[in-house]
A and B are shown apart, each in its own frame.
Chain A
């Protein structure tokens, strides 16, 4: 970042971003116009918001004095569904995404396989969990099985894409060396690729486990099982203390999963 050298002794700070003044002004004025249009199109019923503040306060109170006991049976069922869904879908997702990930790596797969695997990844990544859950609940009926399929499907796109990128980033010297010993395709995968990507694959799987748990607490809203359904009911009935309890449990589990997964990842790498 070189400031302009001028004859005067004062120094004016050069802009850090958008160094071209024309661009800067176009972008700034465009943003201002957009913000004006956007904010004016948002209709807010301030009276309703004011009324809601009291309810918001009750929710905060419920959050601070959570009621774990009166709905414990529902919460427990929801949690078991969420947790089992999380684990099984992550395992199934990893199992399916390993071959797809290998097929989507340009340095290993022939062109037709590459195209097929990449399109599977694109399809799986372009729709979010909730939309897939809506469709799968319509097909498979309510319950955690639809949730399991949803999370598996979403995991495939995520894991195979990142795995394929990792394989493409592999050190080609090692692949070359194994190939030079006369190894076949499987042996190249097993001795050159797998040791290089295994720590990353384990890390990604744990990360996906983390994401799947978070998602499993949401897809219940559209009927795919898990603690989200319980939460939805609690909020619908204005039982804020039970809702607070569920949220606290979700946050606690997310924390545990996140910390243990980052611990394991550090230990693996």
Chain B
């Protein structure tokens, strides 16, 4: 906060800062307008104008929910939970070595191994689990396994990234102390690093599990099992009253998993 050069009145910013700010805003707005025009080039505005009517139509079909359908949903719900949990488990198991290879202070080689580990993390993180599922369903066929692997592959990057950041933030003195006792490399990791990152690790895993529950509810849309499969079949038969039931089940599952993960994180952190 600079006072104006010679002026007696106080100003929030100097004229130069003002000018820079306005230019920045100008370009942002220009870019947004440009993008908006490009995006809506092919939009059929008649459909958009029609949307409220469509919405009330769909709303009318969605209510009342067909509660009888609930009994068909227990098995898919169990499958969804399994996809998320087993996927998280596999993902975490793969993520641990990747994280140690990626962390600057534990990696065996800064120039060869670390970039490779970072590449694995980036690849896994930038591709959404639904896309992974799409690929895996095409490769190994529809079913729970494709969903589990999709969730696992997506989780690797997330868990490894947060974990290697936690490893890089550890207190080096403790590691030094363990090393001074003559401990081997594995023992240094076991006694010097693991106790320091274990709470963070549990927090990250549970957090990812929570996200995975959310994501696994829809993986079935592309054929990877779980609630999404029922959603897909209800949508394609336009059974909107079943869709409502599925949405409510998904909502309840997500809220429950969020509650569990919050409790567990409170307990370990």
Contacts and interface: CB of A to CB of B under 8 A. Distances in A.
B22 to A, nearest CB: 16
Nearest to A218: B128
B106 interface: no
Contact of B44 (A81, A131, A141, A215): A141
Interface stretch (B65-73, B79-87, B164-172): B79-87
Nearest to A130: B218
A218 B130 contact: yes
A162 interface: no
Nearest to A46: B145
Interface stretch (A65-73, A85-93, A103-111, A172-180): A85-93
Interface string B119-138: 00011011110110011001
Interface string A145-187: 1001000000000000000000000000000000000000000
A38 B39 contact: no
B137 to A, nearest CB: 9
Interface in A190-230: 191, 214-215, 217-218, 221-222, 228
Contact of B35 (A84, A134, A243, A250): A84
B47 A141 contact: yes
A232 interface: yes
Contacts of A13: 191
B145 A42 contact: yes
A49 B235 CA distance: 28
B86 A88 contact: no
A55 B58 contact: no
A55 B268 contact: no
Contacts of A87: 31-32, 35
Contacts of B42: 143-144
B143 interface: yes
A145 B43 contact: yes
A127 B82 contact: no
Most chain B Cβ neighbours within 10 Å, of A13, A38, A49, A91: A38
B262 interface: no
B95 interface: no
B155 to A, nearest CB: 15
B250 interface: yes
A140 interface: yes
A17 interface: yes
Interface in A225-245: 228, 231-232, 235-236, 238, 243
A84 B38 contact: yes
A41 interface: yes
Contacts of B260: none
Chain B interface residue number, banded: 35 or more
B102 interface: no
Contact of B58 (A1, A138, A148, A236): A138
A247 to B, nearest CB: 6
A251 interface: yes
A143 B43 contact: yes
B221 A221 contact: yes
A120 interface: no
Interface in B36-73: 36, 38-40, 42-44, 47-48, 51, 54-55, 58
A9 interface: no
19 contacts: A44-B144, A45-B141, A53-B140, A56-B140, A88-B32, A126-B251, A128-B217, A131-B218, A134-B235, A139-B54, A139-B55, A214-B128, A221-B134, A228-B131, A231-B131, A247-B127, A250-B127, A251-B122, A254-B122
Interface of A: 1, 13, 16-17, 34, 38-39, 41-45, 48-49, 51-53, 55-56, 59, 80-81, 83-85, 87-88, 91, 126-128, 130-131, 134-135, 138-141, 143-145, 148, 191, 214-215, 217-218, 221-222, 228, 231-232, 235-236, 238, 243, 247, 250-251, 254-255
Given A16-B195, A254-B125, 9 more contacts: A17-B268, A38-B85, A38-B86, A42-B86, A87-B31, A88-B32, A128-B218, A221-B130, A235-B138
Question: 7 closest Cβ contacts across the A-B interface?
Answer: A141-B47, A254-B126, A52-B140, A84-B39, A84-B35, A48-B141, A56-B139
